[in-house]
Chains A and B, each alone.
Chain A
Amino acid sequence: MSEPLLKVDGLIKRFGGLVATNNLSLDVVEGELHALIGPNGAGKTTFISQIAGELHQDSGSIHFDGNEISQWKTPVRVQRGLARSFQITQLLPDYTALDNVALAVQVRRGHSYQFFTDARKKTDLRDEGRQHLERAGLGSRANIVVSELSHGEQKQLELAIALATKPRMLLLDEPMAGLGTAECARMIDLLKVLKTEVTILLVEHDMDAVFALADRISVLVNGERIATGSADDIRANEAVRVAYLGEGDA
């Protein structure tokens, strides 16, 4: 078996008396879509934030592409190909959708210490930005200011921005949360295509989406991983049913 792209070992994160991540180990293999599920408060977002570098673990290690990245700051991790989307959208509300994406392209290409050229007239950046928007289904909304986009469109934009960083691995934190049924179906379609191109760690509450998309599923309860396996394994797993799916005999 090849070395996993992301390898988390013995991760622990405490907030005072609360153990949010409890000795968590997890491998994500290159090319797979690995879903992370768990009840509210299981510590899924806390876990993602530690991989993305916004929170620092108390102990344990995170290896990405063979490198121990715990000491790397978020921007460095992004530059090395580890991008995330946010559960609660983090966008630039005064800029247009295209500005948001083109800015990510600009940063990736290292054009950001130019002081006197008009950034919005750099057609190569704008064109690439437009492609990412079109992939995320926002092609027609490129010139709309973000604060005027609907919630669903903002979720799509989150994804377009993450794609614009050309990641090797995407950390998606509940991309479906708050979407309507139709938007949800479109997001699933998009993720089905994306999973063939980039390794994905998906945190999601929508079970239909998870079972439709995931190659492997890990279940998190109270900061601990209680199971990992294929969709069928997880459906059949007694501990998971008790703890999470709510179908246990107890």
Chain B
Amino acid sequence: MLKVDEKYVGQVDMPSSRNWWPVIGTVVFVLCAAAFPAFAKAIGDPSLIGLAIRISIYAIAAASLNLILGYGGMISFGHAAYFGIGGYVVGILYHHFVEGSPFLGFIPGTNQFLITIPAAIIISGLFALVLGALSLRTSGVPFIMITLAFAQMLFFLFLSLKAYGGDDGLIVRRRNVLFDLNMADDTTFFYLTIGLAILYFIAFARLVRSPFGLVLGGIRQNERRMAAIGVSTYQYKLTAFVIAGMGAGLAGALMANYSKFVSPDMLHWTKSGDLMIMIIIGGTGTLLGPALGAVVLIGLETFLTSWTEHWKFILGPILIVIVLFSSGGLTSLFQGWSRKRE
């Protein structure tokens, strides 16, 4: 039995022809996105552009949560905290920029997009590092509870921060400045947002197939096995937690720019719940599931609220039907769109 079977020597994993579908899909999507603002105006409904911006932003946020929830098996119920922190970084820096006073006495405010966005990503990542380091000492239901508790602590912190508007939130009068772009124009901001979202998803697709991504998926499937091949699982889980927090920070910073407003609502646990619902609708542990979930949830919310303020009364049954009849989320209905559980 130890003889090498000739048939399998030199066998390769990958089919010799490269799979071009992801590339084709991306190109088609980019073309559609490029034409979208003109299309929205042509059918006389430019508000669709704003809707698409919000969907792109929530797609990033939900995908970032999906890294730890779907791929890593860590059910964090406090992901909105990092979304909110990203938003507040933009809001607070803008606040100090307008007032001319430095934050904490030495950090000058700014309205430069190229500074606020990286700052939001880094600060969210630092918060995720600290809170994740503590939360990941637990697992299972205690982990869900402790992430929820930390997020609610931050929610109440910002609620009581009168210097930054307390429960009224902070108004960002003008969107951050990026080169000479007219950021106030929704079409420009749409291209910026969708561009960042596409880059984010490309990076995400590479990440989950990388050596790190494989270890992360292994930890979800069997943490004991991973320890037995020499993986210090805690470090990998924490790294993933930080990467996820950074993604949410990016989304939050974009949302603060888009809505020109940040408030503690961005950190509320119901926002974390929304992100989880998007993932579950679209398919946990799939690349495009969170994006699809964002389209469905934000789309339904917009569509149904135009009918009735009791829109959640209709949303609930729709969600139940989706979950019941598409095990594994909507992406499972589109076989080949996204390979499940990379």
Contact = CB atoms under 8 A, between A and B. Distances in A.
Interface of A: 52, 54, 73-76, 78-79, 83-84, 86, 90-95, 98-99, 103-104, 106-108, 111-122, 126, 130, 134-135, 137, 139-140, 142-143, 161, 164-165, 186, 189-190, 193
B13 interface: yes
A152 to B, nearest CB: 13
A73 B206 CA distance: 31
A94 B217 contact: yes
Contact of B229 (A99, A103, A135): A103
Interface stretch (B55-63, B113-121, B129-137, B219-227): B219-227
Contact of A119 (B213, B222, B233): B213
19 contacts: A90-B224, A91-B222, A91-B225, A92-B225, A106-B214, A106-B215, A107-B231, A108-B229, A113-B211, A114-B212, A115-B213, A119-B214, A120-B209, A121-B13, A137-B1, A137-B2, A140-B7, A164-B229, A190-B2
Contacts, number: 128
A115 B222 CA distance: 21
B227 A112 contact: no
A134 B11 CA distance: 12
B8 A142 contact: yes
B43 interface: no
Contact of B221 (A95, A116, A120): A95
B227 A75 contact: yes
A103 B218 contact: yes
A90 B212 contact: no
Nearest to B221: A92
Nearest to A114: B211
Contacts of A142: 8, 11
A79 B230 contact: yes
Contacts of B229: 78, 83, 103-104, 107-108, 161, 164-165
A112 B236 CA distance: 9
Contacts of A52: 228
